[in-house]
């Protein structure tokens, strides 16, 4: 299992990457809106570090830059895709909400809330048929937790015994709507348990807890070939999209999990990891920016 320092280092890289993307967006280098994953890094890194692509496959939501990076997709190609550059991982056909790096085990992110969840059932079916102990993992938010596609897929995974891990990242917000308002029944884990699936909680503010729960639950799915569901409590440290200026955000207070983790590490090691992460993110986004906009000829 990885150490807290490794977790900090990878999470800091994703955080720095997102902040550089935000700067690029502010400077007008991103075609559309970007949805940053800031706040969910510990959860995503902890789970993805238990996986190995392409045997294992991950699907994610519109907020998936960090998942693609955590699975090992090329950061420059991901940044280039987000910014619509020539060297984008899909030559700028997909963009920020449609990142695909299946060779690294990141099958796809998605522009439709919850639609990535049934796709992961397919990856799980393939893993089951190939019989190499591969699993599929799907990340979705508390907003998607009210989509029929998610309910249907949890039920299907139980009925067909699919090696599929559901990760419900509960950041308390579906776009601008609170989970308390939108959910019938405040306990989403109990709701899932009604489908007869194994469930577990993860504290996204506590790095050690993230690592332990991730190791246990991934091992459970892999060993038993059965589905499980984690509810991970995380903050959302930016707007629904970067740059959103809305009143509701002032009512959504959250501490920063990476800062919590930093406080547990030695000052020297922490500073070194952070500076390396910043430099790597700076280089990836900078290199992507220098590629120039994707052209029609290059993308066809």
Of 12 and 146, the one with the shorter C-beta distance to another protein is 146
Q: Does 281 bind another protein (CB under 8 A)?
A: no
Q: Does 94 bind another protein (CB under 8 A)?
A: yes
Stretch that binds another protein, among 66-74, 149-157, 167-175, 212-220 (CB under 8 A): 149-157
For the record, the structure tokens of 263 come out as 């406080």
Stretch that binds another protein, among 38-46, 108-116, 218-226, 233-241 (CB under 8 A): 108-116
Binds another protein (CB under 8 A): choice among 31, 72, 118, 172: 118
Of 94 and 257, the one with the shorter C-beta distance to another protein is 94
For the record, the structure tokens of 9 come out as 């280092």
Q: Where are the alpha helices (DSSP H) in the chain?
A: 4-26, 41-48, 65-70, 75-82, 116-130, 148-160, 179-182, 188-193, 207-224, 257-262, 267-289, 296-299
Binds another protein (CB under 8 A): choice among 45, 71, 123, 261: 123
3-state secondary structure of 62: coil
Q: In DSSP terms, which residues pair with 165 in a beta bridge?
A: 137, 228
Stretch that binds another protein, among 18-26, 100-108, 184-192, 258-266 (CB under 8 A): 100-108
Q: Does 168 bind another protein (CB under 8 A)?
A: no
Q: How far is the CB of 94 from another protein (least distance, A)?
A: 4
Report the phi/psi class of residue 288: left, alpha or beta, with left for phi > 0 and alpha for psi in -120 to 50. alpha
Binds another protein (CB under 8 A): choice among 5, 72, 93, 212: 93
Span 41-80, contacts to another protein by CB under 8 A: 57, 59
Count of Cβ atoms closer than 10 Å to residue 222 Cβ: 18
Q: Provide CB contacts within 8 A for 162, sequence distance 6+.
A: 121, 124, 125, 128, 136, 156, 225, 226, 227
Stretch that binds another protein, among 61-69, 127-135, 221-229, 257-265 (CB under 8 A): 127-135
Q: Does 257 bind another protein (CB under 8 A)?
A: no
Per-residue three-class SS string for 73-124: CCHHHHHHHHCCECCCCCCCCCCCCCCCEHHHCEEECCCCCCCHHHHHHHHH
- Chain centroid, CA 52 distance in Å: 15
Residue ranges that bind another protein, judged by CB under 8 A: 57, 59, 89-91, 93-94, 98, 100, 102, 107-108, 110-112, 115, 117-130, 136, 148-149, 152-153, 155-156, 159-160, 299
């Amino acid at each position: 299992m990885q150490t807290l320092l490794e977790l900090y280092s990878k999470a800091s890289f994703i955080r720095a990457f997102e902040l550089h993307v935000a700067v690029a967006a502010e400077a007008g280098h991103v075609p559309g809106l970007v949805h940053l994953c800031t706040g969910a890094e510990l959860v995503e890194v902890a789970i993805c570090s238990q996986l190995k692509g392409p045997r294992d496959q991950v699907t994610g939501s519109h907020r998936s830059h960090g998942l693609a990076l955590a699975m090992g997709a090329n950061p420059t190609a991901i940044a280039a895709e987000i910014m619509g550059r020539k060297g984008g991982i899909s030559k700028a056909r997909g963009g920020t909400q449609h990142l695909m790096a299946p060779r690294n085990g990141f099958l796809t992110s998605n522009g439709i809330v919850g639609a990535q969840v049934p796709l992961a059932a397919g990856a799980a079916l393939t893993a089951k048929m190939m019989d190499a102990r591969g699993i599929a993992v799907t990340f979705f938010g508390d907003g998607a937790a009210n989509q029929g596609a998610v309910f249907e897929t949890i039920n299907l995974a139980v009925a067909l015994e699919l090696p599929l891990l559901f990760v419900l990242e509960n950041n308390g917000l579906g776009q601008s709507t609170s989970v308390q308002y939108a959910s019938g029944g405040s306990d989403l884990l109990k709701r899932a348990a009604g489908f007869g699936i194994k469930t577990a909680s993860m504290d996204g503010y506590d790095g050690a807890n993230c690592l332990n729960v991730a190791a246990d639950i991934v091992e459970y799915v892999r060993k038993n070939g059965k589905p499980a569901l984690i509810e991970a409590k995380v903050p959302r440290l930016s707007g629904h999209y970067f740059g959103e200026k809305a009143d509701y955000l002032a009512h959504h207070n959250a501490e920063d999990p990476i800062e919590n983790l930093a406080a547990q590490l030695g000052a020297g090691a922490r500073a070194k990891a952070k500076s390396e992460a910043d430099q790597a993110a700076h280089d990836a986004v900078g290199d992507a920016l220098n590629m120039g906009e994707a052209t029609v000829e290059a993308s066809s």
